[in-house]
Structure 1
């Protein structure tokens, strides 16, 4: 339910404004609208990465400890994990957004992008953006690489358990349980790592536009 709600918010924060700009001659967005879109995208992207890590723990418990699943994954624990995921994302996304919005642009308000996104806003700044880029990189490590490491550890244990299963039906059931989650993890993390964990001058502008549309529209639709 949380993943569905999150992806609904993700697409709602991007698609309506994008359709307005594509449909008519007016290609603008208000400053307040840009700020809101930037923060919402940062927050929802961070939440999705953390939520996928929580879901991998759920898969690990279901396959590796099936008899203890109902005891471990109590509704109270699930609620606490969800509150923690949303709380961390809401708090930590504010810092890079504030730093980016405070960069001097010397009147340059033309954004060569389909939405207000962090890398695109950093590129139009008329100053050294090393501090902001480093903060984004640090945030990427916390919200991308750390959850990814937890997911990989979970799937290492899952793989060991599946390989030890003597029943082919049990193995198929385990693969079906993890297949969709693993697909989403692979696509999302591959895209986000390319976007946020590389030096800004190496990122292709056109590739950046495409990948942004990919993880804000296509991946949520697949979910």
Structure 2
């Protein structure tokens, strides 16, 4: 995905995610990079409201040398949010996953832990709108740099006061955001007029800081 001409290398960037929950989908082999096997699955993370987020995770085989976790096992995961483009027919789809760098099995500690900290820059003009219930919302795509001249493009969403503030941020603005990684089900209108349930993965912003 194109960074829109923004020079990411001139900035310093951070990307951290911490999740505590239970394994929802079993880890299955996905691919191999430089001789290391990688596995994909999903984790169920409860919210304080009682709802849950079902979040995609990816981890290397070296983290599983002590044994493969089972569905329902409690896990605390630490890593980064990563994105990549996946071809779907003639279109390209942005895929988001929690790339895990450390696994703590057993007790989750805080059953509702879902924390994301990102520093990057705005790569598309933010989109401000109102929901059907008249809630203010702003969508923004944040580019977060990582080593070897690569970048992750993270969809973020903000509400209320933060949404109003974020709507005027220009492309290239450097931002530090904190929030949670969430799954959100929405309905996509089909050509025949019917609705198709889809799941979006994004960072729900709780706080922002400029520069």
Which category describes the TM-score, using the shorter chain as reference length?
under 0.3
Q: Could you say which structure has the larger radius of gyration?
A: 1
Bigger strand fraction: 2
- Higher relative contact order by CA 8 Å / sep ≥ 6: 1 or 2? 1
